[in-house]
Amino acid sequence: MFRSTLIAAAAALLLGAAPTMAKTLTAGANIGNVPWEFQDQNGDTVGFEVDLLKEVANRLGYDKVDIQNIPFNGLFSAVQSGRIDVAISSITITDERLKSVSFAQPYYDSDQSLSTKTDSGIKSTKDLKGKVVGVDTGSTGDMYATQRKDEWGLSDIRRYEGLNPAMLDLAAGRIDAYVSDIPAVAYYLKDKPQMKVVERLKTGEQYSMMFAKDSPLALKVNDVLTTLKKEGFIANLHKKWFGSMPEDTTSSVAVMDMPKPKS
């Protein structure tokens, strides 16, 4: 009798009392990309896109978000291979990228920027002849500068894995200027008077989360972004990280279509 009771109890544990596995969203990010994803003084990963991703994951029923630090150029192969579910890092939606990956609707409008030391004598791209310019490897800033290398008369383009090492070289005089996304650069330089953005390079870029091509998750995230825009959640994130509310016409507020490649 006692033995049969033990067997029944063991069977009940096996069939019905097994612990529920936590549902984890695995993300990739180029950490050090202020103010989008970077480490605070406690070593925690924080930022605009970190806050947004965690809220999206929560709305989709995930228990945890695991953010892996991956160089920007490696994010593309990471989503394509299934190593990660989603990539964030102020990633610009482009027609070329849409051929091999998918994006949810945009949530931030941006341009490129030209920054330099305040005493460099460089006031615009017209002053770059014979100069060395830094860019982030594989970024739209990299593409923008590379396409204009001859036009600007550059002596060299040096590529970096993120903003921090590029800015250190700029401050040390190892490069003459830096081309990168304007919001991240402006945020980084707000307390560094020895450097400044000297020209906004208008490109009309928009950022979003990136997924494997035709990933079902992209559609689900797109729907959540629509809800978060209508609720004002993304607009309030803009206020938190940039100090101002976005204009109603920007992708931080306006609901937009999910990007599709041009046929």
pTM more than 0.85 = no
For all residues of the chain together, what is the average pLDDT?
92
Residue 18 has pLDDT above 80, yes or no: no
Residue 10 has pLDDT above 90, yes or no: no
β-pair partners for 66: 26
Residue 41 has pLDDT above 50, yes or no: yes
pLDDT exceeding 70 applies to what percent of the chain? 92
Residue 255 has pLDDT above 50, yes or no: yes
Distance, CA of 144 to CA of 128 (rounded, Å):
14
216-231 vs 233-242: helix crossing angle, rounded to 10? 80
pLDDT at 190: 85
Mean pLDDT, range 43-72, rounded to an integer: 97
pLDDT tens figures, 79-119: 999 999 999 999 999 999 999 999 999 999 999 999 999 99
Sign of CA pseudo-dihedral 88, 76, 211, 207 = positive
Residue 4 has pLDDT above 70, yes or no: no
Distance, CA of 41 to CA of 45 (rounded, Å):
10
Structural domains of the chain, with CATH: 24-109+206-242 (3.40.190.10), 111-204 (3.40.190.10)
**Two tokens, residue 108:** 């931030």
pLDDT exceeding 90 applies to what percent of the chain? 86
Check residues 16 and 226 and name the one with the higher pLDDT: 226
Distance, CA of 68 to CA of 49 (rounded, Å):
14
pLDDT at 2: 46
Distance, CA of 238 to CA of 48 (rounded, Å):
8
Residue 123 has pLDDT above 90, yes or no: yes
β-pair partners for 39: 45
The answer to whether the beta carbons of residues 183 and 90 sit under 8 Å apart is yes
Q: Which long-range contacts (CB under 8 A, 24 or more apart) does 92-97 make?
A: 92/139, 92/140, 92/181, 92/205, 92/206, 92/207, 93/205, 93/206, 93/207, 93/208, 93/259, 94/140, 95/261, 95/262, 97/210
Q: What element of type H or E holds 97?
A: none
